[in-house]
Every structure is written in C-alpha cells, then in structure tokens.
Structure 1
Amino acid sequence: MLDGGFELLDLLRIGVDIALVWYVLYKLIMLIRGTKAIQLLKGIIVVLAVWLLSIVFNLQTIQWITSRAITWGILITVILFQPELRRALETLGRGNIFARNTKSEEEILEQRVEAIVQAANYMAKRRIGALITLERETGIGDYAETGIQINGSLTHQLLTNIFTPNTPLHDGAVIMRGDEIVAAACYLPLSESPFISKELGTRHRAAMGISEVTDAITIVVSEETGNISCTKNGELHRDLDQENLRDFLRENLLLTLKAPEGKLWNRRGRKNG
C-alpha cells in the first residue's frame, strides 16, 4: 500500500511538472507571436531536428556543424533579440505571464469594439483620415516594425490623438494586437489590383494590400468624404455606418460571438467606380 501511494505521488508530481513546463512554453510563444522571434524559433527547431538526425545516422560532420551552431546560437540569440527578451522578463516581473483576466472574452471584445467605433466615428465626422489594422491569426509584426512603437492600451482617445493632423504619427497605419496599440506610422503593402475604384486613394490601397497578404482587418476613414470602410481577405466593404462597423468588428474579431440577430449589413458589397 505504501509503495502504491508513493507511485501515485510520483505520477502526480510528474504530471504537474510537465503541465507547468508546457504552460510556461505556451505563454512564451504567445509573447513572441507575430514578431521576428517566432521565425527564429522555427529555425532553432530545424537545427535541432538536423542535429538529432545526424546523431541517429552517425553523420559526424553535420553533427559537428550543428552542435557548434547550437553553442554559438544561444549567445547570438541573446544579442539579436535583446528587446524581445527584455519585454518577456518585464512581463514576468509584473506577474502578467500567469495573470488571469477576470473579464470574459465577450466583455473584452465589447470594450475593444466600442473604443474603435467611437474613434472611427469621431474622426469620420471631422474628416480626419485614419488607417487602423487589427491583427488576427497571421502575425504582422514585420509591418509593425516599420513604424513607431507605441505598446499602449487601446482607448478611443489615444487612437484619435494619433491621427490628429499635423502630428508626428498621423501618417501611416496603426497596428493593433488584441487590445494593445502596437505601433503607429506603419507602412502597409499597396494593392496592385486593377479592380479597385480609381476614386480611392492610398489609404484604401494600403488597406486592401494588407488584406490580400494576411487575414488582418483594416478600418479606413476617408479624409475626403469622411466615409468608413473595412477590408478583409481582399474584399472592400464601403460606407459603413456606426452600427454596421460595430457588427462587422464583432463578427470578425471573435468568431464565437455571433452578430446580434435581426441586424443585416447594408452597403456591405463593393461599389463600382
């Protein structure tokens, strides 16, 4: 009986140990998701796989090269990715890596949607041009690095302040990840599609361009007309009012949250030039 009790405790200890390691690894991957560090992680996995294969098949030359790459790679990683490592350590120091958010996903989504809708509506009424890109599954950290890092919590005041004319950050796109404004004054790839109406300017082409290469959602406020448009998967949804925009964001930012019943989107299709 005593031995059986010890075996059960050992199994429980091993299970907890494995669960904690996987949880920490998951949190670390979430921290670097959408940045260049995730590409480095893929490279490390490839090198380790080659190293293991070289051991199995006794390929001594490849084994020597990969072992040296692993040895020096640790030092090179620390040097090249100092900002990401510092940010991860700061998050760990604040306790955010293990923090549990008491708000539900729906409440967080509603706050995020309302902040964006309020900012877009405010800018549309005053014809302030804006370009807001919301990251989803595909990481767009490379585009964020072309701008000025913000790393600030989303508020409609901060969004409208960024796009205020004649300020240093008003040109270019704001890139958001979750409820964080990652960067401003970012450059997005311009669409070369011949089907885009010629009346649309650079902001709309940039919004279409990023939607063609990623699954991101981009909101455009026209400086000339004050109209609000959205792009997703290479499609342009023009002239959205406040309710249309709110429903569009609810439906696409959290697929498990259904749009309110009875609310259909008008003007959702693409307009002809």
Structure 2
Amino acid sequence: MFSMNFDNLPWLVYIGQIVDILLVTYVVYKLIMIIRGTRAVQLVKGIAAIFIVWFVSSFLGLSTLEFITRQTATFGLLAIIIIFQPELRRGLEQLGRSRLFSSRSISKNEAIQPTIDALMKASVYMGKRRIGALISIERETGLNDYAETGIAMHANVSSELLINIFIPNTPLHDGAVVLKNDKILAAGCYLPLSEDSSISKELGTRHRAALGVSEVTDAITLIISEETGAISLSKRGTLYRELTKEQLRDLLEQNLLKAATTSDNRWQWGGKKDG
C-alpha cells in the first residue's frame, strides 16, 4: 500500500513557522490598534523600558539592578491588571465585536463625504452666528477615552444635530463632540489642554483643547470661536486659524478622505497658521 512519510517533508515545518509568525504579527497588530490613543500606550512604553533595563543589567552582570527589574516585572503584572482594568475590558470587548479580518477603511469615503458636508454646513452656520463649537474627528488613533468623558450619543452626523448641540445654554454645548466616520460618538466631552507655552494668549480653552488632543492623537479638530466666529482647525500640534470656506473643505477632504494625497499647502493661506 502506498503511504507518504510526512516526517521527510521539511517544507511542512517551514509552512508551520511562517503561519506562526503571521498569526503572532496579526495579534500584535490588533493589540496596537486597540491601545492607540489610550493610556495603555504609555504603559507599553514603560514595560518595554523595564525589559530593556533587565536585559542590559543581565548582560553586564549588574546583579542588584537585575534583581530590582525582575521583581518589578514579576509583581508589576498584577498592578497593571488592577490599574488598567477599564482599558483591558474595552480591548476584550473590541476583540469580541470585531470580525477576524475586518478593515477600518472599508467604504471610508462613502461614509466620510456626507460627514464633511455636514461639518461644512454646521461650521459656516455657527461661524456666522458666533456659536462656539469644538468637534474632534477620529482618524486612525482611537478617541474612545475622550468620548467616554461625555454623553454617549451614537447618532448619525447631521448639520442640524451638530448646530443644536452647540446652541448656548443647552446641556451639551460646553464640551467637545467626538465623531467617528458618519457617527457622533458622544457630546460634552473633555479634551486634554495643550501645555505649550508658546500658544498665543488670545486663544481660549477651546483652541487649547483642540491643540492638546492633536498633540497626542492624529485626530483633526474643528473650532468655532464664540468671540469672533472664526473657524479654525488643529492637526498634529498645528493650529490653522481663520479659515475660509474653501480652505476648510480642502483641509477636511485632504485629511479624512481615503484617497486624499495632496499637501496642506497646495493653496495660499489667507489665515494664520500657528504651531
């Protein structure tokens, strides 16, 4: 009877190793995507620093330092579980909700284009009437940490809803709105204030919050000044001030549409650029 001895086929071992590497890479990638934009990023950096010190001290024979770092790594795991329990729970929930090979960019343009139109209409309306507003739009870095500080909405984006949220003396007008694709995740959210001492003194809390969140995430944030009605946008620690309608649409499309590849400077700035 014909039989095949698979022990003599080393290519099976190679395939197994390749699959193993691919699976580990995928798991690491998903973990990175989950923790981006959360406090867990700083945790990972701290853990990496401890293991680097542990490796170096072991290699150089620094027994005391090696003992300290080893004990820190051993007992630190329990502390990590306790301190970062909300982040761990949220990460497991995301893994449970997601499909195995889902992509965040599927039909992104179709979802974002109506959002851009709604943002344009709402911004122009509020700017003319000097209605203060702060709207942060999620890109790759998650904004769930900031959305959880406000009132959950999970509503479809519309210019009418955005305007209504920021009408003065309403319950949600004094915080930020967090958007994700075509959804309003939450309103009345708190964003981190920038501590950059070089920021112009004429800028208020909204502008500092917009700069603050742009320094720690890749989100773009719209600001409508309550004093002047000027429309501004923050991105990666830079504040683009006093935008015209055309400039605002240009920036939104460049940064939110999947196929956008143009530069921020393809037109001449009529306003101010800080940062």
Normalising by structure 2, report the TM-score.
0.74
Q: Which residue of 2 aligns with 1:38?
A: 41
After superposition, the Cα gap between the structure-2 partners of 1:251 and 1:73, relative to the gap in structure 1 and judged at 3 Å, is same
Please give the per-residue CA displacement for 1:130-163, whole angstroms capped at 9, x wherever unaligned: 0223466888888x38943748466236644542
Structure 2 gap segments, 5+ residues each: none
- The correspondence for 1:236, drawn from 215, 240, 245, is 240
Aligned mates of 1:190, 1:64 — CA distance in 2 = 37
The equivalent of 2:150 in structure 1 is 148
Measured after TM superposition, the shift of residue 74 of structure 1 is 1.1
SS at match of 1:189: coil
Alignment pair present for 1:21 and 2:24: yes
Query: What is the Cα deviation at residue 251 of structure 1?
Result: 1.7
Q: TM-score, normalised by structure 1?
A: 0.74
| Matching of residue 85 in structure 1 with residue 88 in structure 2 | yes
**Secondary structure in 1 matching 2:272:** coil
CA shift, 1:254, in A, is 5.5
In 1, are the aligned partners of 2:191 and 2:210 still within 8 Å (CA)? no
The 1:55/1:205 distance shift into structure 2, 3 A limit, reads closer
1:51 CA displacement: 1.9
Q: Which has the larger displacement, 178-187 or 106-115?
A: 178-187
- TM-superposed CA distance for 1:15, in Å, is 0.8
Please list, as runs of the form range in 1=range in 2, the aligned pairs for 1:17-166 lying within 5 A after superposition: 17-96=20-99, 98-101=101-104, 103-124=106-127, 126-134=129-137, 144=146, 147-148=149-150, 150=152, 152=154, 155-156=157-158, 159-166=162-169
Deviation, 1:191, is: 6.4
| Partners of 1:193 and 1:58 in 2: CA distance | 46
Task: Give the corresponding residue for 2:193.
Answer: 188
- Offset, 1:238: 0.9
Match of 1:223 in 2: 226
- Structure 1 residues 5 and 165, CA, compared in 2 at 3 Å: closer, same or farther? farther
Aligned with 2:136: secondary structure? strand
The alignment covers a number of residue pairs equal to 264
What residue is the counterpart of 1:269 in the other structure? 271
CA shift at 1:250, angstroms?
1.4
Native 8 Å contact 1:36 1:141 kept in 2: no
The answer (yes or no) to whether the contact 2:192–2:213 under 8 Å persists in 1 is no
2:95 maps to amino acid? L
Aligned equivalents of 2:230 and 2:210: distance in 1?
Answer: 14
- Give distance in 1, aligned partners of 2:242 and 2:116: 18
% same residue: 47
Distance (whole Å) between structure 2 residues aligned to residue 151 and residue 13 of structure 1: 46
Please state how far the C-alpha of 1:166 moved relative to its aligned partner.
2.1
Question: Could you say which residue in structure 2 is the equivalent of 1:257?
Answer: 260
